[in-house]
């Protein structure tokens, strides 16, 4: 046996018999031709050769990156299917409006907000050439927002090379002739900001200047989804991350080892100073409009940058920027004075100064700044608007029955100065050329909102008698009553004061407040200087709003697809008609003893759920505004803005 094993050998690869290959066992056979293998011989089975099979070709393995992409695509498809299933489930769970209603085909859902509407390629493209858009910014827009200045002689190619993001923002805000194009470009810019800043952690002066210009003209965009808040915070973050909020010498003291290789001390440029001041200016304005934003801090270094920019006087608009910062600083202090109950800024044990002292101090500061204006800026409508708004903000928070009765100064004096501030504001506003309306900056648009709200606030306190009496000398034909019109959904704006006739003293429980109110109304009847022609002011303002687009189209000979001011005019006329109707109803509702009964402005079968909230107690609610910004509007999903700038509805009513 051992001799047989010695003469046997294992079969080579591919030469094993079929039974051994099937059982995957070792095939050992002797060196005798035709002999069986040892295993087949011992088991007494047939030992045949294998049947040759085609050999499998080797396949190249895909790279790991392709496998990762495939898994990501599968995950995306799974999430999309999950979202679709959830939406279908929600639709099935939603009960029908009426069990007897006939089934009707549903129209495809259209986003009611411009920031969520689909974007087409034709809208993304600018309506003008780069040269024209840059010229519009340098000659029309930057004088209204003098915190990002382009040097004269700069070509679009040079700006695109040195400041690529700023150039894109300038192209967007300069496309004011086509509102749909501005919205489409804003989508691209918001995606760029999120990718570059949030994902790429990029920090540059180019980004800061671009965001400032974006915010400077943000009244053309959506304010309902916190994009404005995000951009304001991003601008403040850039200022801090780039160490622009501190003096370069103080920064170098903490980083001297790292900066020792530079060889020379870095100086702050005027371009950086404007960006620092512009960031504070925007933040300060935003804090008065959006309650989620805290008040901006006016630091010593900020004041140092202000003085250095004034001394340098690199451009003519630098002096305007300096004066805007100074008056805005006073406006912010007035705002903080009226909201001091929300701040812990008083020391315990120290008595507070009276309101009269604060009022006199603020008025003196405003008069001093106004008298120190350079001759070239003495009649600048942008500064006049800021100064008039400061005086309006100084007295408007006191205009209320309870506030006036608890003041340590004369209520008649406060009301008189408030009336003067309103008349002055609209008198100067009506001198602004209507062809400049489209180039106004966002802070001015917010001041228009505040002034228009103050008109209704004056009417509420003065009463319907005073409104009617103030408009008796006006011969303007205001036309028929204009019913409430649904405004575009993207125009979210603050509510106006409540137009309800105040109750009697016994009903309201405030005897002193009613006495003060009766005294003021008696003085309005006797003294013409205490009157405000609210109906005339509203009609004149609406007429000028309507003329803005018409005059621009006639002057330039092109079609203006921007109906922002037309929508503002329609809303102002609707507000004026409501005040007039309120006066008529209030006068007709006098009781036998001559007292006014509390009346609601809405009556009959009118659907008040779709009407704006005009509650005075909501004065401190979040402000959401855009476009016209002249009163409260409902966010009606049935009203959208088409691609050509026209207002259309989705079966929910029409704009008239």
Of 333, 342, 324, 336, the residue nearest 282 (C-alpha): 324
Higher-pLDDT residue of 335, 344: 335
Same domain, 541 and 443: yes
The answer to whether the CB of 437 falls within 8 A of the CB of 565 is yes
The answer to whether the CB of 39 falls within 8 A of the CB of 19 is yes
Same domain, 178 and 39: no
With a CB cutoff of 8 Å and minimum separation 6, the contacts of 144 are 216, 382, 436, 439, 440, 441, 444
In this model, does residue 454 exceed pLDDT 80?
A: yes
Q: Is residue 54 part of a domain?
A: no
End-to-end CA distance of the chain: 113
Higher-pLDDT residue of 2, 173: 173
In this model, does residue 86 exceed pLDDT 70?
A: no
In this model, does residue 509 exceed pLDDT 50?
A: no
Tokens of 71: 């898994």
pLDDT score, position 437: 93
The answer to whether the CB of 612 falls within 8 A of the CB of 473 is no
In this model, does residue 485 exceed pLDDT 90?
A: no
Same domain, 317 and 402: no
pLDDT score, position 64: 57
Q: For residue range 385-397, list pLDDT tens digits in order.
A: 999 999 999 998 8
**% residues pLDDT > 70 (the chain):** 64
Q: Is residue 261 part of a domain?
A: no
The mean pLDDT value of the chain amounts to 75
Same domain, 275 and 402: no
pLDDT score, position 256: 46
Q: Which DSSP letter does residue 37 get? A: B
Instruction: From residue 180, give the alpha-carbon distance in Å to each of 87, 96, 184, 559.
Output: 29, 35, 6, 13
With a CB cutoff of 8 Å and minimum separation 6, the contacts of 108 are none
Q: What is the mean pLDDT of residues 475-488?
A: 43
Of 369, 379, 441, the residue nearest 148 (C-alpha): 441
Which residues is 649 bridged to in the sheet? 639
The answer to whether the CB of 123 falls within 8 A of the CB of 180 is yes
Instruction: From residue 401, give the alpha-carbon distance in Å to each of 160, 295, 458.
Output: 57, 28, 12
Q: Is residue 648 part of a domain?
A: no
Q: For residue range 337-360, list pLDDT tens digits in order.
A: 888 755 555 556 666 777 888 899
pLDDT score, position 231: 92
Of 602, 652, 647, 649, the residue nearest 627 (C-alpha): 647
Q: Which of 326, 344, 362 is the last residue of a domain?
A: 344
Out of 178-192, 200-214, 354-368, 485-499, pick the least confident: 485-499
Q: Is residue 622 part of a domain?
A: no
pLDDT score, position 383: 95
- Cα 252-257-258 angle, rounded to 5 deg: 75
The C-alpha atoms of residue 443 and residue 631 are separated, in whole angstroms, by 17
pLDDT score, position 348: 64
Higher-pLDDT residue of 39, 164: 164
Most confident among 284-293, 480-489, 495-504, 628-637 (mean pLDDT): 284-293
Same domain, 473 and 521: yes
The answer to whether the CB of 184 falls within 8 A of the CB of 119 is yes
Q: Which of 598, 616, 647 is the last residue of a domain?
A: 598
Same domain, 516 and 458: yes
Q: What is the mean pLDDT of residues 173-190?
A: 90
Q: Which of 548, 567, 598 is the last residue of a domain?
A: 598
- Exposed / middle / buried, residue 500 (Cβ in 10 Å: 0-12, 13-18, 19+): middle
The C-alpha atoms of residue 238 and residue 397 are separated, in whole angstroms, by 34
Same domain, 380 and 426: yes
Q: Is residue 636 part of a domain?
A: no
Same domain, 326 and 384: no
The answer to whether the CB of 555 falls within 8 A of the CB of 435 is yes
The C-alpha atoms of residue 220 and residue 179 are separated, in whole angstroms, by 8
Q: Is residue 388 part of a domain?
A: yes
In this model, does residue 591 exceed pLDDT 80?
A: no
Q: For residue range 135-152, list pLDDT tens digits in order.
A: 999 999 999 999 999 999
pLDDT score, position 82: 52
The whole-model pTM stands at: 0.71
Higher-pLDDT residue of 76, 178: 178
Most confident among 259-268, 508-517, 572-581 (mean pLDDT): 572-581
pLDDT score, position 482: 43
- Cα 128-132-137 angle, rounded to 5 deg: 110
Q: Is residue 337 part of a domain?
A: yes
Same domain, 418 and 279: no
Q: For residue range 254-308, list pLDDT tens digits in order.
A: 544 444 444 455 688 999 999 999 999 999 998 887 766 676 789 999 999 999 9
Same domain, 276 and 159: yes
| Torsion sign over Cα 39, 40, 41, 43 | positive
Predicted confidence band of residue 645 (pLDDT cuts 50, 70, 90): very low
Q: Is residue 608 part of a domain?
A: no
Q: For residue range 592-637, list pLDDT tens digits in order.
A: 445 544 433 333 333 333 223 222 233 333 333 333 333 433 323 3
Higher-pLDDT residue of 350, 188: 188
Q: For residue range 202-235, list pLDDT tens digits in order.
A: 899 999 999 999 999 999 887 777 788 889 999 9
The answer to whether the CB of 286 falls within 8 A of the CB of 109 is no
Same domain, 359 and 309: no
Higher-pLDDT residue of 184, 491: 184
Q: For residue range 420-433, list pLDDT tens digits in order.
A: 999 999 999 999 99
- 381 by DSSP, 3-state: which? helix
Predicted confidence band of residue 652 (pLDDT cuts 50, 70, 90): very low
In total, how many domains does the chain have?
3
What residue numbers bound the domain in which 23 lies? 2-43
Same domain, 363 and 327: no
């Amino acid at each position: 046996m051992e001799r047989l094993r010695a003469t046997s050998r294992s079969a080579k690869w591919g030469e094993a018999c079929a039974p051994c290959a099937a059982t995957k066992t070792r095939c050992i056979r002797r060196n005798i031709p035709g002999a069986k293998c040892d295993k087949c011989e011992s088991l007494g089975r047939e030992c045949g050769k294998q049947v040759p099979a085609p050999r499998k070709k080797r396949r190249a393995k895909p790279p790991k990156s392709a496998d990762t992409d495939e898994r990501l695509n599968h995950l995306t498809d799974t999430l999309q299917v999950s979202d679709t299933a959830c939406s279908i489930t929600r639709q099935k769970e939603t009960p029908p409006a009426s069990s007897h209603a006939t089934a009707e085909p549903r129209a495809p859902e259209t986003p009611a907000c411009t920031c969520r509407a689909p974007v087409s390629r034709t809208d993304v493209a600018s309506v003008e050439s780069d040269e024209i858009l840059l010229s519009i910014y340098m000659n029309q827009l930057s004088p209204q927002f003098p915190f990002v200045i382009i040097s004269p002689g700069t070509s679009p190619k040079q700006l695109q090379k040195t400041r690529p993001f700023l150039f894109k923002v300038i192209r967007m805000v300069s496309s004011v002739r086509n509102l749909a194009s501005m919205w489409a470009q804003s989508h691209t810019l918001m995606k760029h900001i999120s990718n570059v800043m949030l994902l790429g952690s990029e920090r540059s002066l180019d980004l800061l200047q671009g965001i400032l210009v974006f915010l400077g003209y943000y009244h053309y965009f959506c304010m309902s989804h916190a994009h404005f808040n995000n951009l304001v915070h991003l601008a403040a973050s850039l200022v801090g991350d780039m160490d622009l909020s501190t003096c370069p010498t103080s920064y170098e003291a903490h980083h001297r080892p790292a900066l020792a290789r530079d060889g020379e001390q870095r100086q702050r440029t005027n371009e950086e100073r404007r960006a620092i001041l512009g960031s504070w200016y925007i933040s300060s304005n935003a804090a008065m409009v959006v309650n989620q934003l805290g008040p901006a801090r006016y630091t010593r270094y900020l004041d140092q940058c202000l003085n250095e920019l004034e001394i340098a006087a690199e451009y003519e608009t630098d002096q305007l920027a300096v004066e805007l910062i100074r008056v805005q600083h006073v406006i912010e202090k007035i705002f903080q004075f009226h909201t001091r109950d929300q701040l812990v800024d008083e020391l315990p044990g120290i008595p507070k100064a009276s309101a009269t002292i604060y009022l006199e101090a603020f008025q003196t500061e405003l008069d001093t700044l106004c008298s120190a204006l350079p001759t070239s800026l003495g009649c600048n409508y942008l500064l006049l608007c800021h100064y008039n708004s400061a005086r309006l903000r100084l007295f408007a928070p006191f205009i209320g029955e309870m506030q006036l009765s608890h003041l340590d100064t004369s209520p008649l004096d406060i009301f008189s100065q408030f009336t003067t501030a309103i008349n002055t504001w609209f008198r100067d506003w009506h001198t602004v050329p209507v062809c400049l309306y489209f180039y106004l900056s966002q802070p001015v648009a917010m001041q228009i909102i505040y002034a228009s709200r103050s008109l209704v606030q004056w009417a509420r306190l003065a009463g319907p008698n005073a409104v009617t009496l103030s408009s008796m000398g006006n011969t303007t034909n205001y036309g028929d009553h204009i019913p409430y019109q649904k405004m575009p959904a993207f125009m979210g704006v603050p509510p106006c004061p409540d137009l309800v006739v105040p109750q009697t003293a016994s009903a309201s429980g405030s005897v002193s407040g009613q006495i003060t109110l009766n005294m003021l109304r008696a003085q309005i009847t006797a003294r013409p200087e205490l009157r405000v022609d609210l109906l005339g002011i509203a009609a004149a303002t609406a007429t000028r709003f309507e003329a803005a687009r018409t005059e621009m189209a006639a002057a330039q000979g092109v079609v203006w697809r921007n109906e922002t001011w037309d929508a503002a005019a329609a809303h102002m006329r609707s507000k004026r008609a409501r005040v007039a109707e309120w006066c008529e109803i209030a006068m007709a509702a006098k009781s036998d003893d001559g007292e006014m009964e509390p009346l609601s402005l809405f009556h009959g079968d009118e659907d008040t759920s779709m009407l704006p909230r005009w509650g005075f107690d909501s004065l401190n609610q979040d402000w959401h505004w855009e476009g016209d910004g002249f009163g409260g509007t409902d966010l009606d999903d049935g009203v959208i803005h088409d691609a050509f700038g026209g207002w259309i509805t989705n079966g929910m009513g029409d704009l008239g």
